Amino acid sequence: MIKKYRILLVLALVVLVGGFSFFYRMYQYDMKSLQDFVVSYQTFDRTIADFADDGTSDSESKASDALTKLTAKAGVRISSLIRNDSLIPPATLQVADLAEKELESLKAYKNARQNKNTNVNNLLTAFNDLMAERKAAYDSFQKLDSS
């Protein structure tokens, strides 16, 4: 009879440890996914600032690459183990969408300035507005992520 309970106890312990490790790995995956998004956002922020400052084709390609990585990381799926799990994915997608619009706006501004287009001021204003929107969306994401 004692052996019967010992086997049940060991079996229950194995199930408990297995369940804990499953949820722990899910949580770690969620945290890594969110951290990867933050890193890709910071990389994009740096590269678009470099592109805005010098405007070389190398900085443009780096900004485009950073945008591609940001968009990929924005499609994060997180489990319900994370607080605000239903609000974070749309926030990351919004940041990526605004980043894409911002980069396109900056490219249009650089092209118009190079071609001496008279619409340069409107394009610069649009770029600055999109940059402010992107940063505000990222701040909203950070508030969701930290709460």
Model confidence at 147, pLDDT cuts 50, 70, 90, reads: low
pLDDT in tens, 88-101: 999 999 999 999 99
Q: Which residue, 61, 64, 70, is CA-closest to 134?
A: 70
- pTM for the full model? 0.86
Give, as one character, the DSSP assignment of residue 115.
T
Give the residue carrying structure tokens 């980043």. 99
- Measure the N-to-C terminal CA separation of the chain; round to a whole number of Å: 51
Question: How far apart, in whole angstroms, are the C-alpha atoms of residue 11 and residue 16?
Answer: 9
